[in-house]
Structure 1
Amino acid sequence: MTEPATPAITGSMLHDLVKCERKVHHDLHSDPSRRDGVGEFVEMLWRGGREHEEAVLARMPGTVVDLRQVPKPERMAATMAALRSGAETILGGRLEHGDMLGEPDVLRRAGDDWIAGDVKTGGAFEQDGETPRREYAAQVAHYAIMLEGLNAGRGDTALVIGRDGDDTLYDLRMRRGRAGTSIADAAAALAAKARAIRDGRHEALGAMSATCKMCCWHTVCGRELEDADDLTLLAGIGRSVRDVLAPHAPTVAALATLDPRPLVRPRGRTSVPGLGAERLARFQARARLVVEGGAAYAREPLGLARAPRELHFDIEADPSRDGLVYLHGVLDVRRRDGVQTSEYVRFFAETEDDERHAFAQALEFLSADPSAMIYYYSKYERSSYRALQRRHPDVCSPEEIETLFDPARAVDLLFDVIMPKTEWPLRNLSIKTIARHLGFDWRDEHASGAASIAWYDDYRRSGDPAIRGRIERYNEDDVLASLAVLDGLIALPVRLEDENA
């Protein structure tokens, strides 16, 4: 009987490790039949990625060798032959070196050496605009390491072609951050971790995060975390906090009953790295509510009151199209003489070319009555409006955006109120979770931001008004949920700090 081949360490493994080591474990060791089905949003991302890649690769300059149709078993030999030829660009090559495997989208000649790279649908840098995007850098550095091992490249440079179609070269040897780690060093460390996971020498732990719903192992991992009563199931606790807190309280139940006194140090510090006494107390209060099933409460007076006019505001945007904002929705709530009325107002962008017009209309509506209170949920609306202003500077100035989101009239329900001032017996603090806890629900059973993006992609392709109606109903429910959450916050009982002890 032939022994199964040891899985190779691939660039995609390193890409995934940046996000979640548990996915790599499942890909290597778990039954593929246990994977979740592919959702509409992921299908849309794959389709968009293929279309973008095809468009970018179709305009490669110079002499091009295209190996994408060569059978995989023959492609390494074909790639090595192409590297020795007079070609300037190789598409769909395959690199094998030791236990490493890489399939770069592009190999580009640079003098006597070659540079490997990938086509990506996102930007090449992190939000600061300077730091190479970690998951992209890990993947293309893996290719560079193999090229150097094959004596075909220096191993110090790699290429990413982002959503804008422009080339970005990563310096793989430049040392960054406090630890002074280079991209090449980070990629080598990730490859070592991948080998340890593959060989059973490293216990890869899952952790609940915002990206989990996109993963094909979401259901499997969710059950694992529930069975383990993992701390990342508690709102606000991510992988890093879980890992430093776990030696003292490995589960939500253990955190609920933890005696924090041995951990507390002078001046609000604790012996848990990066976790102050106040933050520890918040997490413990949250754990107690979840375990004991207590009622939500405010830790201090919230200062919220119903206003004569409220504008509950929510946008729909597509990050795969550079943050295109395709819908601005507003629930215009008015109260007079004890009577409340509301109207849903929306501004829709049919295409990228319509984004400016929809933005201008929405901004005019939101700014028209400075006495109206504006409510939104999380920082996304504000950051998106800042980005819209930069894309369409003729519509308004940066100062006008800051005026619109002045805290005196604009309230972020999540970051201004819920997170710093309230506690809930819930696993997370998303608007859907809190609104449903308060008795509100969405009309569409498949409602989600990701689904809305997929629907918008379908609408752009078909022009079907029923699909546009579905998008608008979802957005309308989002702003109705904002009103329900505000009402729920106003009704919350207040429990002061000494009462919570």
Structure 2
Amino acid sequence: MLINAEHLLQYQRCKRRPILDINADKNQRDAPNDLLTKLQQDKIAYHRGILAEFNYEQPQYPFGNREAAQAATLELMQRGVEYIYHGVLLSNYQDWVETASDEYTILSRPDLLIKQPGESCFGDWMYVPANMELGKRPKQEYQVVAAFHTQALATVQGVTPDKAWLILRTKDISYSVDLAKWTPQMLQILAEFIQALELSEPPEMFISRQKCNLCHWHSQCYAIAQAQKHLSLLPGVTPVRYAQLQELSLTTLESLANASPTILEDLPGFDSVVATKLIIQAQAVIEKRPLILPTSLPPTELAFTAPVELYFDIEAQPDLDLDYLLGVLVVDRQNNTQQFYSFLAETPADEELIWQQFLDLVWQYPDAPIYHFCVYEFDTVKRLAKLYRTPKSLVNPVLYRFVDVYEQLIQSVALPVESYALKVIARWLGFEWRDKEASGAKCIYWYDQWLETGDRSFLDIIQRYNEDDCHATRSVKDWLANFFQNAHQLAIPKSF
């Protein structure tokens, strides 16, 4: 059985995914989504940019022929080529661990093999591996994979390199991996992965929204989780907390809903507030109704109706460090009117212009609260103000008017939802986006497509999505304010 670096990378992120990649029916996988396609394209472009600085060679071999791939790589290494791109190294797992089974073949394909002075089977030179990663930090999974490539390289050249490199998207582009630290951890993770491969069933799924959304097994795992009412679908249940709940046999919504906070509050990942909130969250899901958190106060910043209210949402392109769309919905309650303003940077150079347009608009309503969902809008206004040297006298009064609907909500009420994302909450309230498949992630892809093709239909769908986000924020804000104003409808949770 073949084990490669991608398996080891994914196993660190999700113990289930690489097992399915090897053993499950590939026809059951989800189709690649737009953001995943974009990330793959970005990685190719990133590699090309880095490789432009090197005089490298790449082994040539028939597609799918691993033995020919290694032979071509070894030929380049024997010639002493300075830089080898995507060389292929094969070894047996038994060469790494003497007691290991001989049925596992290790395939290593480091991004670069870099020639260094030293002694190896090739002569008075040796190679060290380097991987080019889109991330800006030397994450554990990157360093474990670097150690994996180093171990494979050692079996081929007869000497273990004393270093491996990560090439990251930072000012300090090269990062030296501490192999003395990461090689033992890599071998332990690899052994655990092989043990998991030998089990009759894949590991238990855990739905982690950030990590799972791009996985091609997401639909399959999510369907299983829903059928089981798995606790990973409950907001607030992290992998660390779930492990603690398993130790106490609190693995169902019902058992958690009936638990006492006192048995949880001293455990790792918990405290008295988290324990109480998580139990009430389970109760809300079971009872299918919102429940007030007992330690909260009514969200006073939402409990009034201003004559004019502003709802603010941003679309950004992180790779360009660009906030290209500042959308503001102006709701005039006195005159019963509303108008949406879409300040759009058609090119990255227009960001300063739309920033000024945004300031001009919000200063037309100096007393209007500015509602937004999550902290990004607040942080972005501070960033843009600093970037374009906007006087504090123009920015601070605006920031003072910001009201984070998300923070107000999660501190005061538990909803019967799987997530506190804007889309999930607004749809629970009955709100729908005009473009069903639109998302913030897809807008990143669509804006790139606009820059590449000049097709304005990409801008149109982004602007519709952004406007709908503003209306969705309003719907959540209005619901929360009404919920607390109508005291006779308040749902009080179980007492503790």
With normalisation by structure 2, the TM-score equals 0.85
Q: Within 1, Cα distance between the matches of 2:419 and 2:57? A: 50
Does 2:414 match 1:418? Answer: no
* Paired residues of 1:36 and 1:217 also in contact (CA < 8 A): yes
Determine which of 104, 111, 117 is the counterpart of 1:111: 117
User: Is the 1:331–1:342 Cα contact (8 Å) retained in structure 2?
Assistant: yes
Distance 2:15 2:338 in 1: 47
Q: Distance in 1 between matches of 2:16 and 2:397?
A: 42
* 1:66 lines up with 2:79 in the alignment: no
**1:225 and 2:225 aligned:** yes
Matches within 5 A, 1:77-476: 77-99=71-93, 100-112=106-118, 113-123=126-136, 125=137, 132-151=138-157, 154-163=160-169, 167-173=173-179, 182-200=181-199, 204-209=203-208, 210-248=210-248, 249-260=250-261, 263=263, 269-270=265-266, 272-297=267-292, 299-303=296-300, 304=302, 305-319=304-318, 321-336=319-334, 339-366=335-362, 369-386=365-382, 388=384, 393-396=387-390, 403=396, 406=399, 408-414=400-406, 416-476=407-467
Q: Deviations over 1:248-294 (max 9, x none)?
A: 21122221233455x26xxxx43x33312332121111111111222
Structure 2: unaligned runs, 5 residues or longer? 94-105, 119-125
Q: For residue 18 of structure 1, report the CA deviation from its aligned partner.
A: 2.7
Separation in 2, partners of 1:400, 1:160: 44
- Counterparts of 2:385 and 2:188, CA distance in 1: 40
Structure 2 contact 362–398 (Cα < 8 Å) conserved = no
Deviation at 1:150, TM superposition (A): 3.1
1:55-110 Cα distance to aligned partner (Å, 9 max, x none)? 332x1334x22226654421112212222223110012112232322111211223
Provide TM-score, normalisation by structure 1. 0.84
Give the distance between the partners of 1:380 and 1:442, measured in 2 at CA.
21
DSSP 3-state at the match of 2:333:
strand
CA distance in 2, matches of 1:219, 1:482: 27
Could you say what secondary structure the match of 1:160 adopts? strand
The one of 1, 7, 28 aligned to 2:2 = 7
Counterpart secondary structure, 2:314:
strand
Deviation at 1:331, TM superposition (A): 1.2
Q: Of the two, which has the highest radius of gyration?
A: 2
Structure 1 stretch displaced more, 441-450 or 165-174 = 165-174
Identity %: 27
Q: In terms of mean alpha carbon deviation, does 234-243 or 457-466 score higher?
A: 457-466
- Cα distance, 1:369 vs structure 2: 4.8
Task: State the distance in 2 between where 1:82 and 1:386 align.
Answer: 52
Q: Distance in 1 between matches of 2:115 and 2:237?
A: 46
Shift of residue 471, structure 1, vs aligned partner: 0.7
Q: Deviations over 1:212-249 (max 9, x none)?
A: 12110011111221233221110121211111112321
Confirm or deny: 8 A CA contact 1:296 1:492 kept in the other structure: no
In the aligned structure 1, how far is the partner of 2:255 from the partner of 2:492? Answer: 22
Mapped to 1, the partners of 2:13 and 2:474 lie a distance apart of 34
Is structure 2 residue 28 aligned with structure 1 residue 34? Answer: yes
- The residue matched to 2:350 in structure 1 has which SS? helix
In 1, Cα distance between the equivalents of 2:86 and 2:390? 45
CA–CA separation in structure 2 for the residues paired with 1:498 and 1:326: 43
